[in-house]
Each structure stands twice: as C-alpha cells, then as structure tokens.
Amino acid sequence: MKKKNAVPNRADKGRFRYSQDQIIDKAFNWEQIRRLLHYMKPYSKKLLPLAVIAMLAATSVRLAAPVLIGYTIDEAIQPGDWNLLMGITIFIASMYALAWIANTFRIKWINQMGQYIIYDLRKDLFNHLQKLSHRFFDQRSAGSILVRVTNDINSLQELFTNGVINLLMDIVMLVGIISILFVLSPELTIAIMIVLPIMFYISTNLRRKIRRSWQTVRLKQSTLNSHLNESIQGIRVTQAYTQEKENMGYFTDLNTDNYEAWEQATRKSAMFRPLVELSNAAGTAILIWYGIYLINAESITIGEFVAFATFLGMFWEPISRLGQIYNQLLMAMASSERIFEYMDEKPSVPEKPNAKELKAIKGDIRLESVAFSYDDKRTALHEMDLHMKPGQTFALVGHTGSGKTTIVNLISRFYDPTKGRVLIDGNDLRNVTLDSLRSQVSMVLQDTFIFSGTIMENIRFGRPDASDEEVKKAAYHVGADGFIRALKNGYETEVEERGNVLSVGERQLISFARALLADPRILILDEATASIDTETEQIIQSALKKLLEGRTAIMIAHRLSTIREADEIVVLDHGRMMEQGSHHELMKQGGEYYRLVRAQFNVLDTG
Amino acid sequence: MNTFKSLKEFYWPDKRLFIWSIIFLIIMTILTMAYPIVLQFAIDEVVLSANWGLLPYLAGGFVVITALKAAATYNHQYYGDLFGIRAVYRLRSRLYKKLQYLPFRFYDNAKTGDLMSRLTADVEGFRFFLSFGCAQLLNLVLLVTFSFAVMMYYSVPLALVSLAAMPFLAVAVYRFDKRVHPAFKNIRLSFASLTTKVQENVSGMSTVKSLSREDFEMGRFDGKNADYKDKSLYTSTIWAKFFPVMELIGNVCVVVLLGFGGYLVIQGQLQLGQLAASFSLIWYIIGPLMNLGFIINTFSQSKASGERIVEVLDEKEDITSTTFSEPVDRLNGEIVFHHVTHTYPGETQKALKDITFHASPGETIGLIGATGAGKTTITQLISRFYKPDEGEVLIDGRAINQYRLEDLRAHVGFVLQESFIFSSTIRDNIAYGRPDASLKEVIDAAKRAQAHEFIMELQDGYETVLGERGMGLSGGQKQRISIARAILINPAILVLDDATSAVDMETEHRIQAAFQEVMKGRTTFVIAHRISSLKHADQILVLENGRIAERGRHEELLKKEGIYKNIYDIQFQDRETVMQEKV
Ligand SMILES: Nc1ncnc2c1ncn2[C@@H]1O[C@H](COP(=O)(O)OP(=O)(O)OP(=O)(O)O)[C@@H](O)[C@H]1O
Ligand SMILES: Nc1ncnc2c1ncn2[C@@H]1O[C@H](COP(=O)(O)OP(=O)(O)OP(=O)(O)O)[C@@H](O)[C@H]1O
Ligand SMILES: [Mg+2]
Ligand SMILES: [Mg+2]
C-alpha cells in the first residue's frame, strides 16, 4: 500500500465501528497464479485448446480483412478490374462466414470453461468454510465472509471466461498488426509507433490510479453495507430508543464519505477516454501527414494507406484491453488472495488423518485438568477436572460468565482446550472424527436460530431424512405441537430468517424439537428452557426422561426447578469448579450450591 | 415511465448537470464525424487532386478537432456521472430514513438480504440508467443519424444498398433482447438466492455445527451453486448464438460496401476517398445498433430496480405522530389498557383478547404465562410498536396515539427479550439511547445492571469493541448490557421482557435491588418465568392464550389455587425441606 486515500473519513469517529478491509494493491504473485491455473487444469485438455483454435481462426480473419480491402482498392478498383473485385468480395465473405462459426464456438467453449471453474472454486470455498471451527467465525462478521463467497469469486469470473482468451487474442492481434504494418511500410510503421508508448502509459498508469480510486469507493461502500445490514437487524432497539435521527446523522456521514470518494473516482475515470482518443488522434495525424507524403513519394499505395488507417483504428482495442486485463489481474490477485486466505485457514479443531470413528457413545465424559481461553487474554476455564457418568443427567450452575457454555463447547469440540484433554468413553476428542462425535452430541443453543423456510423444514434440519410423522412427534414431545397446529398453515407455515413472527419461547421450542429429532446419545441443553414457561418445561422434562433413557444429558439452567432433578450438579464460579454432587448431597455440604438455593428462597422472602 | 416520474425528486434537482451532459454529448457526436470526413478529404482532395498544400491544415485541423472532442467527452461523462451519483446520495438518504421509521410489522416479514439488495443493487441499477442509459440512447440515435446522412450525401445508392441488411440486424437484436432479458433476470434471481443461502449458513453456523449438518448444508448450497452456473451457461449460449450472427451481418454490410462501392468507383459515380470513409461510417451505424439490445436491457432493468425502490418508499408508516400532539417533558407512568384486542397482521388468531388493567404510577406489574401467551405483545403495545385492533391504551389519561411518537418512546425504557448488541464499543452500546451521556453516567448504569464488574475484567474496559451481535460475550453478559442501556435513559416506564432469563438468580436479585432504588416512582413491567422475579410486583397478570386468566398480588394468587399456584408449586415444591436441611 503506497498511498493513503485522500478522502476524509467522517464516519470513522461515529457511533458504530466496522472493521475495514485494507486497500490491497497486491503485486503479481506467481504462487497464486499457479493455484488459480490449477483450477483450469481439468479443462485444459479439451475446452481450452478448442477455444484457442477457434479464437485463432477468428483473429486471422480480422487481421486479413483490412489487407484484402487495401489490395482490392489498389488492384481491382483503381484499375477497374471488375472480375477481380467480385472474386475478392466473395472470398472475404466466405472468410467472414468462417469467423462467424469460429466465434460461436469460442464464446460457447470459453464460457463453459469459465463457469465450471467458478463453480468449482465457489464449491471448494463454501465446503471449506463448513469445516472451519467456531473460532474462525467468532472473529469475523457474517458480511465479510459472505462477500468472499459471492463478490470475490465473481470478480474472478471475468478473468476466467474472457480474460484468459482475450489475453491470447490481443497478443496475437498486436503482433499481427505490427508485423503486417511492417511488411506494408516500415517507415510509416515506425513513425506511427511513436504513439505506442503513450498508449501503453495511459493504459497502465492512468488505469492504476483510476482503479485505486474505485477501490476506495468500494471500501466505503462495504462499510455502508455493513451498517445497513446492522441497522436493519437492530431496528427494534433503534426504534425503542428513538435513535432514528442519530443514526441518520451517522448514515449521512457514511453517505457523504461515499459520495466524495465516488466523485473523485469519476473525475479520474472520465479522463481516460479523452486521453486515449487524443493519443489515437496523434497517430492518425502522423498517418495523414507522413502517409500522404509517402504516397506522393510513391513508396506506398492508396490501398495500403486505407489499410493503415483501418489497422490504426483496430490498434487501440487490444492495447486498451490488455490494460484492462492487467487491471483485472491485479484485482483478481486481491480477490484470490482473500479467497485463498480462507482456504488456507486450518480448522482450529483439526481432524487427525488417522482419526477413528466414535462408536455408539455410552456417555462417559471426562475433563482432565482442562484449561481454556477464548482469546489468550482472559481465561474462561481454569484447570478443571470433571467426570460425568454414562446415562446420567448433569446440571451446570453458576453465575453468568462462569464458564458453563464454555464447558459444553469443549465437550462438543467446538474448541480444543488450551491445556488438558476432554475424553468421551475414554477417547480423547482430538483423536476421533468430528462427524462421528457431533452426530451423536446435540446441543440446544442459548441463541436460537431459525432458518427461512417452513417450520417443518426447520425442525427437520436436525435429521433431514426424518418423516413428517417423526418431525411432529419431536414437536409433540417438547410441547410445541399445539402452537404449531394453531398457526395459519400449521407445520407448513413459512417463517423468515430468525423467525420474527414467533414468540421467543416458541422459537426455542422449535430448536429444541430440532435437537431431539437428531436422536443424540448426548443431549446438551444450554439454557434451552430459559424463555419457556415452567409448565411447558415440566412437560418437556417428563418427556425427556423417557426419551433419554440410558443417555447422557447436560443442562445449564438458572431455574432451580429445572436442575433439581439432575443426578449430578456441578457448580462453577469464575471458570473454576466449586463442587459436584446430587442436590441432596450438595445441600448437606452447605457450600456454594446451598448458598445459591438459600439465596433464591431468601429472594422470595425478603427483597 | 411512472417509476421515473415518481423518483423525479431525487434526480431532477440536478437537471442542469443532465442538460450540460447532453449538450456535450451532442458536440461529441458531431465531432466524431470528423475522422471519416478528414480521411475522405485526404484521399480525394489531397492525394487524387494532388493538392499537397492542404496537408498541414488537414492534419492540424484534425488534431484540434479531436482535442475539442476530448474536452466534450470528458465533460459529458463527468456531468453524467455526477448527475447519477447525486441522485444516489439522495435516494440512499431517503431510503435509510424510511427504513428507520418503518413499523415492526414491516420487519416481521422482511428479508434482510432482500432489503439490502434494494438499497444497494437496485439503487445502483437506477443510477446506471441515469448516468449512462439515457445518454447512450441519445448517442445511438445521433450517431446513426449523422453517419447515415453523411453516407447518403456521398452516394444515395451506396448507402441504401450497403445498409440493406440492417433489417436483419434489427430482427436479430430484437430476438436477442427478448431472450437475453429473462435470462439475465434469472441469473440475478439465482445469485440472490445463492447469496441468501450463504448468509443464512454463516449466521446460523453454530446451529449447523451443533447438529453436525455440514454435509447437508453443502448439498443445499451445491444446488444453488449449480443453478447459478446453469443459468449463466444458458445465457452464454444465447450470446454465442446471437453475437456472432450480429457481427456477421455487420461484416456482410462491409462486404457489400466493398463490392458495390468498388463498382460505383469503377463506374465513376463515387470517389475513392468516399468509399474509404464509408468503411468507418458503416461501423458507426452497425456498432451502436448491435448495442441497442443492451441499452434496452439496461433500461428495463433500471425500470425494474426503480420499481423495487418505489415499493420501499411507498411502504406505509402507519404508526406516526399525530400532527396536533404537543410535546411532553415527563410522563407520570399511569398506564391503562381498556379492552384491548390485538391480531398480528396476516394472522388469523388473536394474540390478545380483551385485555384490561390499570397500572398506577410507580407500580410494578408482573406478567407471567405460557410461551406465546401474549406477554411481549402487551408491552409492545405500550410503546406503539403495533396498533391494536380494538380497545385503547392510555398513558396518564391520554390515548397513546395522542403523544408524539418520540416522546412516548423516549420515556419507555425497553429491554427486549432478545438482546441486540451493535458493533461498537461497550460504552456506545450502553449509551445508545443517550449518546451524550458522560462516562460516569454510563458506569453508573452498568453498576446498577451488575455489568461493571465483568466489563472491567475486559482488557479495554468500556472501550472494548464488540463484534456483530455481541460476539465474545456470554448470554447473561449481553442481557446486562441491554439492561444498563435501558437504565441510562432514565425512563418513566421500564419494560423488562424476560430481561434476566440468562442471568443467575443471585445476580438478578442484585439487579432488582438496584432497580428498586432507581425505579422509585416509576412504572415497571416485568415479564418473567421465575416466580422469584415477580413476587414483589404490585400486580401480577397471569396470561393464558391472550387473555388475563388471573390477577392480583403474589399472596392473593397463591390463595386462588390456579395457574400461578401451580407454577409456584413446581418451582418451590421442596422449599420447606430445603430450608430445613441445616448444615
Ligand atoms: N467467543 C468468545 N470469545 C471470547 N470470550 C468469550 C467468548 N464466549 C465467551 N467468552 C467469555 O468467556 C467467559 C465464560 O463465558 P461462558 O459463555 O462460558 O459463560 P456462561 O457461564 O455460559 O454464562 P451465561 O450464563 O451468561 O451464559 C465469559 O467471561 C465470556 O465473556
Ligand atoms: N410479529 C408477529 N407476527 C405474528 N404473530 C406473532 C408475532 N409476534 C408474536 N406472534 C404470535 O402472537 C402470540 C403471542 O406472542 P408473544 O410474543 O406476545 O408471546 P409471549 O407471551 O411473549 O411468549 P414468550 O414467553 O415465548 O416470549 C404467539 O402465538 C406468537 O406466535
Ligand atoms: Mg452461556
Ligand atoms: Mg415474549
């Protein structure tokens, strides 16, 4: 990055903070080119050579035409040779017919190749994202990930379709034109070539400036988009706190920043075409002056002069496009760097190559001197030993932020412990395949997420091959069947993302049903009933008792009535385990748990 | 055209830019004619007439004309662009403003992705037409007319014969446009659906992972990805079919020009230079016509974009301040619900049925009841987030629609059931409702919400920047920040919608104790599932299926042996035994 953008940032000191991507002006990186080319490989045997042949055929025709026209003028029209004129005309016509066929195939084949490559690339990226771990998603906003899968990949599309073939075509064209001109008249060619460096300069240098200014615009735009996205999602808070005007103030800053950057970019890009035309005109002026002088000196003919004029008109196009491709390439470097950055990202909970399948889990969970920190700054769990026996129900209690969610995150292996190990049935989680683990461990999350689609589809997400009946049964067990049936279209009711038309408790019930449907060996409930009323919760609990016969369940809850029934209760405080035992044992001990329970009743009595 | 008319206010204030841009465009097009004419002149008048003295003037004149043309081109493009981006600026501001004020009803069924694309892609599509589409159309007409006129001037038969293939080109362009237009639309739709899929996948990643549904998601995504590829390929086959044909037609014209023009020259009816010039002129006609399909396409696309923008702008803001409502400084907090019935838009079931209650200033009202019973709905009616079907809500004896909306909401502190954290610092998040609050006030509020302690444990304390949706905080920590946010605006009415569900009881108790101090003389609504959170309420409303099933104080309700008692029993069944289990 050489230059800072000159546009002031009003919005930087505003009430929202969005991390910005840097302006990337990456130099050529052969390693990346190699990786990109790798994607072309499957098609380099058939599609690419075919397209190149078609391209060569079409280009030869384009190169030959002006020469032939010049020849016609000199040999047929001026001498008045009617037959020759007819003959050449028919010949040119048949050449054009050939070009027509060649072009048809070129466009078809090259687009096929490009689209297949883009498809492959996008698929690889998306699939790779699925393998990445929580830590990766913790650190990035959804918007910035989205942009890579959509826009960054799309910006490679042009390169892979027309870019590659045009690059070849333009080089052939340029070399072709210059050689033909040299054959026709070396002096005139040299005279005209004087403008060539100017053209190249404009094409590369000015373009680079223009591109930089557009990059600035794009960065501003992406901040603007992030804000739009957030302001739509947080609109309820905004309206509840009447912050509409303040937000508009912030947005005006963003909008103005964007406008100013845009205006500057426009100013620069508007210069491009006029400059190009001017340099082209210089070439034409030389042609007219010197060319006619040469005609006068009888060193070229009028036909050659016309051919020169035509070629000169054709000259700019490949140079301009080469400049464009060069730009495209630089932008593609930036995009592909961002894409490969994600592809190179290793899952922070990697699967070992020799990882084994976890057999049907019995449910013996062990944490051996486990310590954990999310960000290496704060410790979420201090050294902790914990044992949960198979088939039992565990409850984790403790103050907010004491590390309850963290423990279950470790058991599902969303994160690996910083120290120590987590074992299920005696297997270190680091040695088993993720799929065999997670398909047997289901978690109802503290933050529910509803996908857009029908309620049926949402529940079925837990097990895509479940029948309608099974889905309904799962809903029935969590006491959701009643309200779903009461909806306008029952199970087929469509909900939008995050399920805004449902009450919060209803959403929680749906995600609960989803987890039950997955039929896990270990069920984890992270405050899964926090927004659900006590009576429904009772229904769920008695249903669970039957459903979870012989399976291990871990629940996190603040409501005493939820946890009292647990076989074992683990009390946490500031990332440390304070005590473990059944309700009665812990009450007898009179420790932290006893204090918590007492406190609850005291709340009832005093307060 | 209606679309353009209804959006006129956004672009027409800059009509001077537009007019200048057009004037320069006309100059530019006229000067474009210079090249073929100069060429013709060079051959016919200089070479063939051996009039060498004209040469310097010709070359010099050409450079001067091109310089003028370059200036015109620059101005045309710059003014055109500016015309477009100013319109974008205004449009965006207005759309943003609109979004700020649209009611909850609108957002209940809105797709974020869809709204986003209207605000970005559609605005861009509309601008594109303002900046380029219009001018291109005009440019096309002018260029074709001028070129044709010059050719006619050189030779009427040549012009007519060599352009005889034009109708075929027109047909090809027309058919191309007819097929490529829906194809492009399909690509756009397919891409939008791909984008939505990715967005949802990323936002719901924890859910995907917790159920180990990655493979399923890959399958779903692959469908969208393949669809996008197929749609793109289909479009490229249309291209592959039509574009070379159009080029061929153009080339046929050139061939005819050569053959027939050559004949005319031989016959002495045409000068050689005129023939040479015609080779350029004919492309000035064919080129733009080949582009016509695109221009029409841009036009119809931007019209569609414009329509989608107008749709948002026309969306009803049905909850607004009445014009004659006077500003109020302070509310006492007396709230009356008078036979209120509410149905959510588009639903058949009533969410609230005949709700009546009275809350005196300073009272605490507890709301309890089953999931979906209507607790949240009641509180949302107080702030006028929705409009009830029947009945009235009164604050301090005045119907709420008689207040200015901002006054009403500024005095109601709302802690929503789902806490939302903005990407900003903790301090700015707490001060969201009162951006001018001092740090001391922010800390005060945080202390009351029992959030101060954990905030201070963070490395940057109050200046810690939180990620999207409060990434990096535990559930209870997010809730406490939301509570602090509500305390800070010092409201007359406070609504706590399940605001402590993720907070442990001890902390909750401390928060409540702090509230009792803050909330002296203010009205508080507490929604909770824990009896302990509600027990001290002056009035507890027990909701069932949108109705008030029971009401009264804690002790009264216990005596009723109804729903409330039942909940109490479940939660406190072994209280006695517990209390007896002495150490
Ligand atoms: N993704 C994360 N990145 C960084 N820190 C985190 C992250 N998630 C949680 N923390 C921190 O780790 C600590 C433990 O959090 P955890 O979510 O385990 O608490 P919890 O016991 O589940 O609390 P709650 O009852 O509020 O949900 C907290 O201090 C929290 O701020
Ligand atoms: N925006 C909405 N559009 C349509 N229906 C809605 C909307 N919000 C809630 N509902 C429906 O109205 C009823 C009452 O919902 P409400 O959110 O008031 O319940 P609640 O008592 O707050 O429940 P919870 O304890 O689960 O939060 C529910 O049946 C719900 O499905
Ligand atoms: Mg938690
Ligand atoms: Mg609710």
Of all residues in chain B, the percent with pLDDT exceeding 90 is 20
Is there an atom of ligand 1 within 6 Å of B467 CB?
no
DSSP string, B188-207: HHHHHHHHHHHHHHHHTHHH
What integer pLDDT is reported at residue A170 of this predicted model?
A: 87
| CA-proximal residue: ligand 2, atom 8 (nearest) | A501
Closest partner residue to A242 among B369, B410, B571, by Cβ?
A: B410
Among candidates B111, B8, B62, B433, which has minimal Cα distance to A499?
B111
A457 vs A491: CA distance, rounded Å: 9
More confident residue, B381 or A18: B381
Return the ligand 1 atom nearest residue B477 CA. Answer: 26
- For residue B225, pLDDT over 90 is answered with yes
CB contact (8 A) between residue B459 and residue A377: yes
Angle between helices B475-488 and B439-448 (to 10 degrees): 120
And the tokens for A57? 């055929």
Give residue B320's Cα distance to chain centre.
21
What integer pLDDT is reported at residue B94 of this predicted model?
A: 92
- For residue A596, pLDDT over 60 is answered with yes
What integer pLDDT is reported at residue B583 of this predicted model?
A: 44
And the tokens for B308? 């989608």
Query: How many contacts (CB atoms, under 8 Å) link A and B?
Result: 515
| Strand-pair category, A393-398 with A365-372 | unpaired
- For residue A200, pLDDT over 90 is answered with no
Give residue A250's Cα distance to chain centre.
27
pLDDT tens figures, B148-158: 999 999 989 88
What integer pLDDT is reported at residue A607 of this predicted model?
A: 43
Q: Which letter does DSSP use for residue A6 in this model?
A: -
Contacts of residue B426, defined as CB under 8 A and 6 or more positions apart, other chains included, come to: B455, B458, B461, B462, B463, B464, B466, B481
- For residue A538, pLDDT over 50 is answered with yes
Closest residue of B to A378, CA-based?
B458
Is there an atom of ligand 2 within 6 Å of A532 CB?
no
Integer-rounded Cα radius of gyration of chain B = 36
Name the CA dihedral angle for A543, A545, A550, A556, rounded to a multiple of 10 degrees.
100
Integer-rounded Cα radius of gyration of chain A = 35
What integer pLDDT is reported at residue A127 of this predicted model?
A: 92
A238 vs A225: CA distance, rounded Å: 17
Over residues A163-184, the mean pLDDT reads 86
3-state SS, residue A559: coil
3-state SS, residue B368: strand
Asked if B80 contacts B21 with a C-beta cutoff of 8 angstroms, the reply is yes
Contacts of residue A559, defined as CB under 8 A and 6 or more positions apart, other chains included, come to: A529, A530, A534, A537, B529, B530, B571
B452 vs B430: CA distance, rounded Å: 11
> Shortest Cα distance from B339 to chain A (angstroms)?
22
- For residue A559, pLDDT over 80 is answered with no
- For residue A561, pLDDT over 80 is answered with no
Closest partner residue to B89 among A118, A259, A502, by Cβ?
A: A259
> Shortest Cα distance from B155 to chain A (angstroms)?
17
Q: How far is the CA of B374 from the centre of ligand 4 (A)?
A: 7
Q: Residue A2: pLDDT band by 50, 70, 90 thresholds?
A: very low
* Mean pLDDT value across chain A: 84
Is there an atom of ligand 2 within 6 Å of A502 CB?
yes
Of all residues in chain A, the percent with pLDDT exceeding 90 is 7
Among candidates B389, B298, B335, B312, which has minimal Cα distance to B539?
B335
pLDDT tens figures, B104-151: 888 888 888 788 888 888 888 888 888 887 888 888 889 999 999 999
- For residue A1, pLDDT over 60 is answered with no
For residue A52, how many other CB atoms are within 10 A of its CB? 18
Cα B27 to Cα A267, A274, A535, B70: the distances in Å are: 20, 14, 80, 10
CB contact (8 A) between residue A400 and residue B119: no
What integer pLDDT is reported at residue A4 of this predicted model?
A: 41
The CA angle B571-B575-B580, to the nearest 5 degrees, is: 165
- For residue A126, pLDDT over 90 is answered with yes
Among candidates A125, A135, A461, A222, which has minimal Cα distance to B194?
A125
Residue in A377, A406, A577 to alter for ligand 1 test, most ligand atoms within 8 A of Cβ: A406
CB contact (8 A) between residue B480 and residue A503: no
pLDDT tens figures, B180-189: 888 888 888 8
- For residue A7, pLDDT over 60 is answered with no
- Mutate which of A106, A202, A288, A516 to disrupt the B interface (most B C-beta within 10 Å)? A288
pLDDT tens figures, B481-540: 999 998 888 888 989 888 888 787 778 878 888 877 777 778 999 998 888 888 888 999
- For residue A27, pLDDT over 80 is answered with no
What integer pLDDT is reported at residue A144 of this predicted model?
A: 78
- For residue B77, pLDDT over 70 is answered with yes
pLDDT tens figures, B366-382: 999 888 889 999 999 99
- For residue B86, pLDDT over 90 is answered with yes
What integer pLDDT is reported at residue B319 of this predicted model?
A: 75
Over residues B401-408, the mean pLDDT reads 84
- Tokens 């990643």 found at: B205
Instruction: Detail the DSSP E strand segments found in A4-90.
Output: none
And the tokens for B390? 């029947």
Helix residue ranges per DSSP H, B315-420: 375-382, 405-410
And the tokens for A352? 């070992």
Contacts of residue A546, defined as CB under 8 A and 6 or more positions apart, other chains included, come to: none
B247 vs A99: CA distance, rounded Å: 9
Q: Residue B581: pLDDT band by 50, 70, 90 thresholds?
A: low
- For residue B333, pLDDT over 90 is answered with no
CB contact (8 A) between residue A600 and residue B507: no
B451 vs B481: CA distance, rounded Å: 7
And the tokens for A202? 């404009």
Asked if A216 contacts A265 with a C-beta cutoff of 8 angstroms, the reply is yes
Please say whether the dihedral angle defined by the alpha carbons of residues B246, B250, B255 and B256, taken in this order, is positive or negative: positive
Is there an atom of ligand 2 within 6 Å of B375 CB?
yes
> Shortest Cα distance from A268 to chain B (angstroms)?
9
- The complex's ipTM works out to 0.85
pLDDT tens figures, A324-345: 777 777 777 878 888 888 888 8
- For residue B1, pLDDT over 70 is answered with no
Contacts of residue A141, defined as CB under 8 A and 6 or more positions apart, other chains included, come to: A18, A19, A226, B423, B467, B468
What integer pLDDT is reported at residue B74 of this predicted model?
A: 92
Is there an atom of ligand 2 within 6 Å of A534 CB?
no
And the tokens for B508? 């909750």
DSSP string, A426-462: TEEGGGB-HHHHHTTEEEE-SS----SEEHHHHHHTT
3-state SS, residue A337: helix
CB contact (8 A) between residue A607 and residue B536: yes
B147 vs B151: CA distance, rounded Å: 6
pLDDT tens figures, B228-246: 999 989 988 988 888 899 8
**Cross-sheet strand order for the sheet of B412-415:** B412-415, B493-497, B523-527, B364-369, B539-544, B547-552
